[in-house]
Amino acid sequence: AQSVAQPEDQVNVAEGNPLTVKCTYSVSGNPYLFWYVQYPNRGLQFLLKYITGDNLVKGSYGFEAEFNKSQTSFHLKKPSALVSDSALYFCAVREFKAYSGAGSYQLTFGKGTKLSVIP
Amino acid sequence: NAGVTQTPKFRVLKTGQSMTLLCAQDMNHEYMYWYRQDPGMGLRLIHYSVGEGTTAKGEVPDGYNVSRLKKQNFLLGLESAAPSQTSVYFCASSPSRGGLSDEQFFGPGTRLTVL
């Protein structure tokens, strides 16, 4: 079974400071990992994903995430936060079995982390 | 491209009433999904479809039915609404070219209240 945890319900950071939103996952095979952002009263927007290869993934709006297999983590980061980054962030995982090509169509989401960037 | 659209945007139902939520996508995507979002619970998959004429159950399918008669449309039905189905419903779609590695594109959501 696949699962994902976002240990922080809320993260507060001052504008201009670096930000980190944490995510850990659990899968029985290989993980496909995703970050999405949700602004108030809107649908989710894709930020970035890890499929394979380089552990540091760069995405939209200056965000990046680092895949750490030993710690089963995929933390979202940004060097300098903007007030406009304030939103709800979701980590998601889907497992994939490389040896068979099979995997889960279901994308499992974390509960979300509310990011507030303070001017 | 309009992307993924959902109708209606808001709806209030009484317990026992039925309704259908419509999702449409103009990106020629093979896969489509219905999720519900509840406070503090993230998004949970209700049903999904990997192609026209096919549907499958997700994590929380009870009380819902779906149909995918056309590739671009994915309908979510509530036959007898219950207060526990008060939620925000999101539709999403994804292409099949990358298989399971493709990201999903989300609609703006439908806010449903069941009294």
B101 CB within 8 Å of a chain A CB: yes
Topology of domain A3-114, CATH: Immunoglobulin-like (2.60.40)
Cβ atoms of A41 and A109 closer than 8 Å? no
pLDDT at site A97: 66
Per-residue pLDDT reduced to its tens digit, B51-75: 899 999 998 999 999 999 999 999 9
Which of chain A's residues have a Cβ under 8 Å away from the Cβ of B45? Answer: 106-107
Per-residue pLDDT reduced to its tens digit, B5-39: 999 999 999 999 999 999 999 999 999 999 999 98
B2 CB within 8 Å of a chain A CB: no
Pairing relation of β-strands A87-97 and A64-68?
Answer: unpaired
pLDDT at site A101: 55
Distance from CA of B28 to the nearest CA of A (A): 18
pLDDT at site A70: 95
pLDDT at A5 over 70: yes
pLDDT at site A103: 59
Q: Which of residues 37-76 of B touch A (CB under 8 A)?
A: 40-45, 48, 50, 56, 58-59
Instruction: Tell me the domains of chain B and their CATH numbers.
Output: 4-114 (2.60.40.10)
